[in-house]
């Protein structure tokens, strides 16, 4: 099953990662006063284990998981993994305990083994919160995904997407894929299932969402080394040769979005506003710290 890795015996690093992702989700949501009780939540591309989703369900959310290659319950992996997670988790845990006791996700999580480009079982305007972590860079058709996210989100509904814009072939050289001609890279993406990531930069991904969502926050949190960028920049061609240096340095970050409520605002293009906000953000990032 593509992109699904089960660890047996239980890998402590995998549990650490699950705890980190879960705490990060909850901390970010609390900071933005996004409640989970009775919320309808969708997580896209949850990976091999669903600990974060189960914790959200334990907080009273109705949680749906969607992935084209959604990991099935594995008796040799999941019960042991969730038991170790529970030993180290000090928050709400009812959903976790239920799935361990019954040996399945039945009646706890809604599982949709389908891609983010088409989520027909999810009703229009029914979702309060959509989350993803290192997923959008791997989707085949981002504009179609954005339209689907807009369709299922209620007006004012929140979305949080952590995007990894690095070259997935070699994380130590995170911008080398920008040296590949765009048509060549796109053809390769279509052949290999997008496993090597995307050439789109974080602000360009934000621009895709702008017609349907307010861009509440663009939060760069991963950067290329200055020396590496010095070596790479003179070799860039096409549109990447024209990118501002500070913009090229950003290799990943989180987007916080909220669904627009007016069809009139949806018809208007807000890409210039996104570009302006991005420039302001980069200026702040480039200012020396005191």
pLDDT at 245 over 60: yes
- What is the average per-residue pLDDT within 93-103? 98
Q: What are phi and psi of 156, to 5 degrees?
A: 85, -5
pLDDT band for position 180 (cuts 50, 70, 90): very high
Give the CA distances from residue 225 to residues 5, 43, 232, 245, in Å, rounded to whole numbers and listed in that order: 30, 31, 11, 12
Q: Quick one: pLDDT at residue 230?
A: 96
Hey, what domains does the chain have and what are their CATH numbers? 12-285 (3.40.50.150)
Q: Quick one: pLDDT at residue 265?
A: 55
pLDDT at 109 over 60: yes
pTM of the model: 0.90
Q: Omega into 9 within 30° of 0, i.e. cis?
A: yes
Q: Quick one: pLDDT at residue 268?
A: 53
pLDDT band for position 99 (cuts 50, 70, 90): very high
- What is the average per-residue pLDDT within 154-175? 97
> Average per-residue pLDDT in the chain?
91
pLDDT at 8 over 70: no
Alpha-carbon gap, residue 88 to 219, rounded angstroms: 29
* Cβ 136 vs Cβ 145: under 8 Å: yes
In the block, residue with structure tokens 């047996």: 8
What's the order of all strands across the beta sheet hosting 153-164? Answer: 110-112, 62-66, 40-44, 127-133, 153-164, 250-259, 213-223
- What is the average per-residue pLDDT within 170-198? 95
Please enumerate, as own/partner, the contacts of 228-233 that have beta carbons within 8 Å and a separation of 24 or more.
228/173, 228/174, 228/175, 229/175, 232/175, 232/176, 232/178, 232/179
pLDDT digits 0-9 by tens, 221-242? 999 999 999 999 999 999 999 9
Alpha-carbon gap, residue 189 to 192, rounded angstroms: 5
Q: Quick one: pLDDT at residue 2?
A: 44
Q: Which two tokens stand for residue 162?
A: 């952590």
SS (H, E, C) the chain: CCCCCCCCCCCHHHHHHHHHHHHHHHHHHHHCCCCCCCCEEEEECCCCCCHHHHHHHHCCCEEEEECCCCCCCCCCCHHHHHHHHHHHCCCCCHHHHHHHHHCCCCCCCEEECCCCCCCCCCCCCCEEEEEEECCHHHCCCHHHHHHHHHHHEEEEEEEEEEEECCCCCCCCCCCHHHHCCHHHHHHHHHHHCCCCCCCCCHHHHHHHHCCCEEEEEEEEEEECCHHHHHHHHHHCCHHHHHCCHHHHHEEEEEEEEEECCCHHHHHCCCHHHHHHHHHHHHHHHHCCCC
pLDDT at 6 over 90: no
Contacts of 212 (CB under 8 A, 6+ apart): 146, 147, 149, 150, 259, 260, 266
Alpha-carbon gap, residue 250 to 223, rounded angstroms: 5
Q: Quick one: pLDDT at residue 5?
A: 46
Q: Quick one: pLDDT at residue 290?
A: 39
């Amino acid at each position: 099953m593509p992109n699904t890795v089960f660890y047996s015996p239980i890998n402590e690093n995998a549990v650490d990662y699950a705890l980190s992702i879960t705490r990060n989700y909850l901390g970010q949501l609390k900071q933005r006063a996004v409640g989970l009780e009775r919320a309808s939540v969708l997580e896209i591309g949850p990976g091999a284990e669903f600990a974060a989703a189960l914790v959200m369900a334990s907080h009273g959310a109705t949680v749906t998981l969607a992935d084209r290659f959604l990991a099935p319950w594995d008796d040799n992996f999941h019960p042991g993994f969730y038991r170790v997670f529970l030993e180290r988790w000090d928050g709400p845990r009812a959903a976790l305990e239920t799935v361990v006791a019954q040996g399945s996700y039945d009646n706890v999580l809604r599982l949709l083994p389908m891609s983010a480009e088409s989520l027909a079982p999810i009703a229009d305007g029914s979702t309060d919160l959509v989350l993803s972590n290192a997923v959008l860079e791997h989707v085949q058709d981002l504009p179609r995904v954005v339209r689907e996210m807009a369709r299922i989100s209620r007006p004012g509904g929140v979305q949080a997407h952590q995007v990894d814009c690095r070259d997935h072939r070699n994380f130590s050289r995170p911008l080398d894929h920008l040296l590949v001609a765009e048509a060549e890279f796109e053809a390769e993406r279509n052949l290999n299932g997008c496993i090597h990531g995307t050439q789109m930069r974080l602000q360009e991904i934000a621009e895709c969402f702008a017609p349907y969502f307010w861009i509440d926050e663009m939060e760069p949190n991963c950067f290329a080394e200055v020396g590496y960028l010095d070596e790479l920049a003179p070799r860039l061609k096409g549109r990447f040769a024209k990118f501002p240096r500070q913009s090229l340095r950003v290799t990943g970050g989180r987007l916080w979005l909220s669904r627009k409520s007016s069809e009139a605002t949806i018809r208007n293009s807000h890409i210039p506003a996104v570009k302006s906000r991005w420039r302001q953000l980069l200026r702040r990032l480039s200012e020396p710290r005191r």
